[in-house]
Amino acid sequence: MSEQETEAGLAESLLRRAAPDRAEFEDLVIVPIFAVVVALVLGALTMLATNVDLPTIGKSYLALVQGSVGSLNALSETLTAAAPLTLAGLGIALGFRAGLFNIGAEGQLLVGGMAAVITGFSFPGLPMAIHLPLALLAGAVAGGLYAGIAGWLRAATGAHEVILTIMLNLIAFRLVDYMLRLPWVQREGRADPISRSVLTSAELPRIFTWLDPNLRLHLGIVLTLAAVLLVHWVLFRTKLGFEFRASGAGPDAARYAGMRAGLLIVIVMAFAGALAGLAGANQVLGVLGRATPGFSSGIGFDAIAVALLGRSHPWGVLAAGLLFGALEAGGRQMQVSAGVSLDLIGIIQALIIAFIAAPLLVRAIFPWGFRRAAKAPKE
């Protein structure tokens, strides 16, 4: 076989692995749906085991639906919660596609959020058309640079990105605590660690205030949809995205094909961090209006579950973000209406991830929901 034929065969193999066909529909769609169903059933059994009667279980799940999609306010809360989860989940999914385990979205979100807050209160008199994009850009750049540290260390030294990003998470927590005590960041007249408020010109405008001033849904949801489209385009319509996927599917083969693995690692991590930084900017500019210790509320860690549930596909991540946003919004209603602990939502989320990680178990529980594998032809 000639060298040209060998290279052509390698390229074809990489393409098949990095851009699989629609035969994976069951793993991408059917398995997550069944995983959610099983998690809800086991959640009900958990409530039964803790002496919650059947009427209360039914009432709690009804409250879950009503609190997530049962009204305009519920939909607003679901979408508001889903936006940062989806943005951070996109970054983690991008890393997964490239064969990298970015566990540092929480730290990247915190750093990006702090950069957005500081930019948001630092330029009084600036028009919104300049100030708001500048604050969002600051969040994305800060998150990207922070994640780029892990990418560079991974490429330069071979240190594992899981360890690097976990350590950077811890540094980010302490860095935020330190910065919130700085005189030029801390709100005047306050002794507790809280930042100055973001100026109106840097706030993400709320979309439906003309219907109800209490609806919190803001322009961040449009930013989220734009990010989903961007990531989808980059992954499946550009040479860089092909290199991301090829490197994740077969790093040795990708290097043999001439792809610069070290540079790809840095670019992927920076891109992922920028998305997580945007998630942080989304929170402080659209929901909180300021920064406090732990303002991320674990969104960066929940985003790992979102990326897993979405099978690292941009549209799958969006669907998973909406689901987790609905669980968060509906969970509050469950606690109020049915008196069920909010911890149950955490249990359901954990069960979903457990079944997503074990697709063979889901197939064994619901064999009728999947096509039988075609038998290999006899030789």
Give pLDDT tens digits for 289-311: 999 998 988 899 999 989 988 88
**Using an 8 Å Cβ cutoff, are 49 and 263 in contact?**
no
Question: Residue 357 falls within a domain, yes or no?
Answer: no
Query: How many domains, the chain?
Result: 1
How far apart CA 185 and CA 178 sit, in angstroms, is 10
Domain that holds residue 127: 93-312
Question: Residue 164 falls within a domain, yes or no?
Answer: yes
Number of H helices, E strands in the chain: 16, 0
Q: Is the pLDDT of residue 230 over 80?
A: yes
Q: What is the pLDDT of residue 17?
A: 40
Question: Residue 220 falls within a domain, yes or no?
Answer: yes
How far apart CA 233 and CA 270 sit, in angstroms, is 17
For the chain, give the mean pLDDT. 84
Residue 348 CB partners (closer than 8 Å, separation 6+): 39, 40, 43, 327
Question: Residue 54 falls within a domain, yes or no?
Answer: no
Measure Cα distances from 353 to 36, 79, 98, 297, 309 in Å. Answer: 9, 21, 21, 19, 7
Tell me the backbone φ, ψ of residue 242, rounded to 5 degrees: -60, -40
Question: Residue 102 falls within a domain, yes or no?
Answer: yes
> What letter represents residue 188's amino acid?
E
Q: What is the pLDDT of residues 5-62, one digit of tens each?
A: 554 454 444 434 433 444 466 666 777 788 888 888 888 888 888 887 888 888 888 8
66 compared with 17, residue with greater pLDDT: 66
Question: Residue 227 falls within a domain, yes or no?
Answer: yes
What's the average model confidence in pLDDT over 101-112?
94
Question: Residue 109 falls within a domain, yes or no?
Answer: yes
Question: Residue 62 falls within a domain, yes or no?
Answer: no
